[in-house]
Amino acid sequence: MLGSKKKYIVSGNSGIKAQIQFADQKQEFNKRPTKIGRRSLSRSISQSSTDSYSSAASYTDSSDDETSPRDKQQKNSKGSSDFCVKNIKQAEFGRREIEIAEQEMPALMALRKRAQGEKPLAGAKIVGCTHITAQTAVLMETLGALGAQCRWAACNIYSTLNEVAAALAESGFPVFAWKGESEDDFWWCIDRCVNVEGWQPNMILDDGGDLTHWIYKKYPNMFKKIKGIVEESVTGVHRLYQLSKAGKLCVPAMNVNDSVTKQKFDNLYCCRESILDGLKRTTDMMFGGKQVVVCGYGEVGKGCCAALKAMGSIVYVTEIDPICALQACMDGFRLVKLNEVIRQVDIVITCTGNKNVVTREHLDRMKNSCIVCNMGHSNTEIDVASLRTPELTWERVRSQVDHVIWPDGKRIVLLAEGRLLNLSCSTVPTFVLSITATTQALALIELYNAPEGRYKQDVYLLPKKMDEYVASLHLPTFDAHLTELTDEQAKYLGLNKNGPFKPNYYRY
C-alpha cells in the first residue's frame, strides 16, 4: 500500500540490606504548542532519543483516535487521572500481555516471591524512563511488590505498547507514554514523571540518559537528593562517564549496560533473534543471498551478523576497534570500510552507539531500494536530518517504513526513521529481557540499601556476585544442573565454593 507523497521544506535559521539470599546464603510547559506544531522542549539537553520531524500520529494506524492523549481527560477505575496514555480502555488487553510475559520472566517472579515479604525497596521512589513493554511492566510491578513507588515515561517515542501502558495506569502506576509521541510530548511526559508536588524521587532507572539529564539540567536540587542511578544503555553510560569526568556527577550510578548479564545476553542473544523479526515485519524480504553491511561488531553487531549469516546473507562488517575487527574476521566476515561496499549492499545496519555512521554522502551512493536501519539505542547513527531537503520526496508505505526518493527516481527504504529497529518495528524475546530486568532490579536494591560510603559519586559496575545470581535464577527454566566444586577443588582454585567464580577482569 502506498502513502501520500510529501515534500519536506527546510528553512534556514554489595551487599543488600534486605537479606536477599545468594547461593552462599528549555521552554515552559504552561505555554503549550499546538498539536501540529509541537517540537522538542530541550534539544540542547539531548538529541539522542527525540530527533524526529514526524507528527505525533505518524506511526499509529489510520483508524486510531488521533486526538493527542494530552488533550484527553481519562481516569482509571479507581478514579485516578495521574497518568497519560493513549486509551485507558485498552487496559484489559494489556493485562493479558503482561501475564504472558510473566511466564517467560522466571527470575523476576522468583525475586518478587523471595523478597516481597522484606520489602527491600520500601521508601524508594523510582522515576523510570525505559521502553514501555509487557516486559517492563513485569519489572515495574516487581519493584512495586518490593516496596517501591514508581513513575514512568518512555525512552523511545515508537516503542511503547499502548495497551500495556493502559494496564499499568489502570493498576495505579503513573505512566506517561504512548506510541508515536512528538518530540514535545516526549519531554512533557518526562517532566510529568518528575515534577510532581509532594513527590521527590530518590532513585533513577534510565535507558539512554534523557531522564537523568533532564533532572540534572532542569531540577538540580532534586538531582542532588537522588540516592542512585541505574543506566542500561551504551549511550546513557557514556553520558554518565562524561558527567563523572567533568566532576558533575553528584550521585553514585550503576552501569548495568556493561554487566555480563546485559552484554552477553540482552545485547547478543536478543539482537540475534529480533533483527530478523524487525526486518521481516517491515519489508517482507528474503535474506538468502542478500548483501548486508553491519556497522559495528560489539555484542549487538555479533548477534545481527550471526543471524543474517545463518539465513544465507553475505555479511560485511565495519569496525574501528582492531580487537572487534579481528573477531569479525575470525568469525568469517569480511572487514571493510563502508565506502567500499555502499554501492552494492542491499541492507545497511548500524549498531555502534556513535553518531553520523551513515552520512548523506553514503545515502546518496546507495543502490535503489537499499534498506537502511539502526539497531543502536539512539537515532544519531544515521544522518536522517540530511534527508529533509526539498529535492527529496518522502513516501510513507506502511507503519515504520518510509521510501526516500531522489530526483532520478532512486529510493531507499528507511525503517523507523533511524530509531531502534527491533523495539520500534517488532518485539524482542521476553526471556532475555528477564535477565536484563532482574539485573536492573538488583542494581536498584543494591544502591538504595548500600551503607553510607560504599559508593561514592562515580559510575560502578554491578558486583560479580549479582551477575552470577541473576544467571542462576534463569537456569531452572532449562532444567540445568550446575556442577559444584569440592572443597579440594575450591581450595586449589582459591575460590569460595559458592562464587564469585571469575575475577572482575575476566572476559566471558
Is position 317 annotated in a ligand binding site? no
Contacts of 82 (CB under 8 A, 6+ apart): 174
Return d(Cα 237, Cα 235) in angstroms, integer.
6
Residue 206 and residue 232 in contact, taking contact as beta carbons nearer than 8 Å:
yes
Return d(Cα 185, Cα 165) in angstroms, integer.
15
DSSP string, 46-109: --TTT-----TTTTS-TTS--S-GGG-----TTS----B-S-GGGHHHHHHHHHHHHHT-HHHH
- Residue 123's SS3 state is coil
Is position 319 annotated in a ligand binding site? yes
Q: What are phi and psi of 301, to 5 degrees?
A: -60, -40
Is position 266 annotated in a ligand binding site? yes
Is position 367 annotated in a ligand binding site? no
Is position 301 annotated in a ligand binding site? yes
* Residue whose entry in the numeric block shows the C-alpha cell 554489595: 14
Q: How many CB atoms lie within 10 A of CB 491?
A: 11
DSSP string, 171-217: TT--EE--TT--HHHHHHHHHHHH-BTTB---EEEESSSHHHHHHHH
Overall size of the chain counted in residues: 508
Is position 262 annotated in a ligand binding site? yes
Is position 298 annotated in a ligand binding site? yes
Residue 205 and residue 129 in contact, taking contact as beta carbons nearer than 8 Å:
yes
Is position 278 annotated in a ligand binding site? no
Is position 232 annotated in a ligand binding site? yes
Which residues are known binding-site members for substrate?
133, 207, 232, 262, 266
Which residues are known binding-site members for NAD(+)?
298-303, 319, 422
Which residues are known binding-site members?
133, 207, 232, 262, 266, 298-303, 319, 422
